[in-house]
Structure 1
Amino acid sequence: MLLIWIRVIWIAAVLINLSGVIWFILGSTANFQRGIDLITTVVMMYFGAPSIVLIVVSMVLLLKRWSPLKWGKIGVIGIIICMLWLTPPLYESVNTSGWLIENVQTDTLQKTADGRYEYNIELVNLFQRNSYARLYLKSVSMSAISRIRVDIPLNEIDGLSIGEVNHWIKLEPYLEEGKYLLYTTEDFPLPGERFEIDVKKGKAVRLKQAAGQIQKVELKRISYKKAHMNIQYPSIVGLNDPYMEKKVNQRLKSDALEITKLYQEDDKTSLDIMFIPTWIGKSLLSIQYIGTEYTSGAAHPINIMYTSNVNLLNAKKITLQDAVKVTDDFIELYKLGNYIKFNPNLDVGTDAMKELANFSNPELIRYFTHADEASENNALQVFTYFTKDALGISAGTAHALGDHFEIEVQYKDLIHNRLLNANFDTK
C-alpha cells in the first residue's frame, strides 16, 4: 500500500493542477467567449497539455489503488513535483480582462454641438462573442455620468485602427429636446450605423435605415432670385430620416448659393445658373451647376461651372481631397482622362489638353489643394463631380475655350487605393 500521506499529497497535487488547467481554459477563452490566440496556444502546449497527461495518469492510478515499489514511489513524487511546477504558469498566463473584468476601448472624448454633454463610444470586450457597445455621456452642467447600450454589431468587426485621436461616432441634437442622433463615422469599421438616443429614458433606438438608404428619391427644383441673380438648386425628398434630409438640403442650398459671395448684389451683375444631377446613390449626391455670369458693359458673358457633392449619411461636403490622394500619379491619370463637352456645339478638347500641358504636376497639385472651394483661393476654379463610372474634374480656362473644361477619370483606373472612400457608392 502506498503511504497514506503520499496519497493525500498526490490527490491534493492533482486537484491543484486540475484547477490550474480549468482556470487557464476558462480565462483564456473568457468563459468560451473568445478564441485562443498564439500565446495561449504556446502556453497550452508547454504547460497545459503535460498537466492534462499527468492528471489523467494520476487519476487512473489512484482509482486503481496502485501500490508502487520503491522506484514507483520516487516516480509518484516526481509526478507530484511536476504538477505543482506546471500549475503557477497556468494561473499567471490568464488575462482576466474581458471575463472577470470588462475590456473597454474608447474613442476620443468629444462635446455635443449644444455644449450639454461630453461623450464617446465604449467598445466592451471587442472581438469576443459577448461584445457590445455603449454610449458614455457626461452632463457638462451637472457632471452626471450615464451609459446607454447601443446595438452596434461589433461581431462584424475584423480589425480596429487606433490613433492618437479617434472619432468613431458623432452625437448631434436631433428632432426634439433630450434626443440626439448618433452615427458612426468613416473612421469606424462599420460606418453609417445610426441611432436615436433618448437621454432621459436612457435608450438607443436603431433607425431602420441609414440616411443614404433611400426608398424613393425626388429632386425638387428651388429657385433663388435676388437682384439680377437667378440660381436653381435641388432639394432632396425621400430620405427616411427627416432630420438628415433637412441637413442635406441645408448643405445643398449653402453650396449652391456660396457663389453669390463673389458678386455684388447690384444692377451690373447678373447670374443665371441651373443644376444637373450627375449621380444619386445610396450615400452620395453629386450636382453640377452650369450657367453664365454677365457684367454690364462686358464684351460677353462668362460661362460658370461649379459642383456640390454631399454625403447623404452625414450631410458633409465631399471634396477632391476626400476622394483621392492628389499625387503625381493621380495628376498623370488626370492628364490622360477623357475630355467631356459641356456644350454640344463647343469641342475644344485638343486645345484644352494643350493648355493643360502648360502646367507642371506640382502646380496642378497646388491648385487642386483648393478644389471645390467657391472662393478666390480656388484660383483655377477646380470643382469635382461624380458619375456612375468616373470622377470628373472641372477647371477654368480662357473664354475662347469655353471658360471651363471637364475631364473624367474612370474609377477602374483609380487603383492602388487612389480612391480613398468606397462608401461613396460610385463604383
Structure 2
Amino acid sequence: MKKFCIMLVLLLSLIMSGCGGKQEPQDLSNTTNTVQEKISTSGNDRYDINKASYAVKNVKINYPQLSNLSDSIKQNKINELIKTSALEVLDDYKDDINSLNLNMDFEIKYQGTDFLSIEYLGLAIVKGAAYPVHVLQTANIDMVKERILVLSDVVIVNDSFIEKFQAGQYKAYSSDLNLQSAGVLKDKLSNFNSQDLMESLKQRSARFYFTKDALGVSVEVAHAAGDHLEMEMPYKDLSGLLLVKPDPK
C-alpha cells in the first residue's frame, strides 16, 4: 500500500509538472519581414500585401502578393495575375535575356476592395548597349471581376482625353530628373503628335495607374528625357470620359 501511495504521488507530480511547463503557441504573425502594407478595410474584404521576388541570374523583380483574403481561390487568381503582369517586362528583352541586368521594385499607388494599382520602376542594362533604360511597368487589377484592366476599360481615349493628358500634373519619378524644373516639360509635351499619342494610348500595352484622386498615364520619351513621362489627371477633370474609378471608403 505504501509503495502504491508513493507511485501515486510521483504520478501526480509528473502531471502537475507537465501542466506547469506547457508553452503557449508561438505568435508568428509578425515574424515575416515581407509585409509591405495592410489594407485599411474590415471584414471579409480585408487583405495584406506582401513582397515576393523573381530572381534569375542578374534579373530581380519584386512584385506584390496578397495574403489573408477571405476567398483563397480569388486570392490565388489575383496573385497569379500580378506575377504574370510583372514578368511581362522580360518580353522586351527576349533576345538579350542572357546579357540583361535588371532590378525592378514596386509601389502600390492605390489599394482597395475595388481596385489594386501597382507601379514598377527599374533600370535595365543590356551588355553592349549604348546606355541603360529606365523601365516603368504598371498593373491595375479589378478586384471584383478578378481581371487586369487596360486603359480603354477606364477612360475614353479621344481628342479631349489627349488635351486633358497634356494639361495634367507632371509627376517626376526621380529627384535627379525633373523635366518641369529643367524648363523643358512644355517642349516635350508639344513634341507629341496628338494622333500618334492617341493610337499609342489605345493599345493594350498603354501604362497607367490609379491614385485616390487621379488617373496617372505614362508615355515613352527619349532616353535623354528619362525614357518615360507620367502625367496625372484628377478624376473630377475627366467628367464624361471616365468609365470607372476607385471608390475609397
- Contact 2:45–2:113 under 8 Å retained in 1: no
Structure 1 partner of 2:187: 354
Gaps of 5+ in 2: 1-41
Structure 1 partner of 2:110: 279
Note the C-alpha offset of 1:414: 1.0
- Contact 1:227–1:266 under 8 Å retained in 2: no
SS in 1 for 2:87: helix
- Contact 2:78–2:146 under 8 Å retained in 1: yes
Larger radius of gyration: 1
Structure 1: how far apart are the matches of 2:97 and 2:73?
36
- Contact 1:244–1:314 under 8 Å retained in 2: no
Structure 2 partner of 1:383: 207
CA distance 1:253–1:337, change in 2 (3 Å): same
Structure 2: how far apart are the matches of 1:213 and 1:299?
52
- Contact 2:216–2:232 under 8 Å retained in 1: yes
Match of 1:229 among 52, 55, 59: 59
Structure 2 partner of 1:294: 125
Note the C-alpha offset of 1:399: 1.5
Note the C-alpha offset of 1:362: 1.8
Note the C-alpha offset of 1:267: 3.7
Do structure 1's residue 324 and structure 2's residue 155 form an aligned pair?
A: yes
Structure 1: how far apart are the matches of 2:111 and 2:60?
24
Structure 2 partner of 1:243: 73
Note the C-alpha offset of 1:239: 2.2
Matched residue type, 1:360: N
Note the C-alpha offset of 1:360: 2.9
SS in 2 for 1:222: strand
TM-score between both structures, scaled by the size of structure 1: 0.46
Structure 2 partner of 1:370: 203
Structure 2: how far apart are the matches of 1:213 and 1:327?
40
Do structure 1's residue 414 and structure 2's residue 238 form an aligned pair?
A: yes
Structure 2 partner of 1:10: none
Structure 1: how far apart are the matches of 2:44 and 2:117?
15
Match of 1:255 among 78, 85, 100: 85
CA distance 1:415–1:426, change in 2 (3 Å): farther
Matched residue type, 2:189: L
SS in 1 for 2:81: helix
Tell me whether 310-319 or 359-368 shows the greater mean CA deviation: 359-368
CA distance 1:270–1:362, change in 2 (3 Å): same
Matched residue type, 1:258: E
Tell me whether 283-292 or 235-244 shows the greater mean CA deviation: 235-244
CA distance 1:338–1:359, change in 2 (3 Å): same
- Contact 1:389–1:426 under 8 Å retained in 2: no
Match of 2:141 among 298, 301, 310: 310
SS in 2 for 1:364: helix
Q: Greater RCO between the two (CA within 8 Å, min separation 6)? A: 2
Gaps of 5+ in 1: 1-211, 374-381
Matched residue type, 2:47: V
Matched residue type, 1:250: E
- Partner deviation per Cα, 1:166-192 (whole Å, 9 max, x = no partner): xxxxxxxxxxxxxxxxxxxxxxxxxxx
Structure 1: how far apart are the matches of 2:232 and 2:97?
36
Structure 1: how far apart are the matches of 2:248 and 2:201?
21
How much identity, in percent, do the aligned residues show?
33
Matches within 5 A, 1:143-222: 215-222=45-52
Structure 1: how far apart are the matches of 2:138 and 2:112?
16
Note the C-alpha offset of 1:353: 3.3
Matched residue type, 1:282: T
Note the C-alpha offset of 1:385: 0.4
- Partner deviation per Cα, 1:11-42 (whole Å, 9 max, x = no partner): xxxxxxxxxxxxxxxxxxxxxxxxxxxxxxxx
Structure 1: how far apart are the matches of 2:97 and 2:162?
40
CA distance 1:354–1:243, change in 2 (3 Å): same
- Contact 1:311–1:318 under 8 Å retained in 2: yes
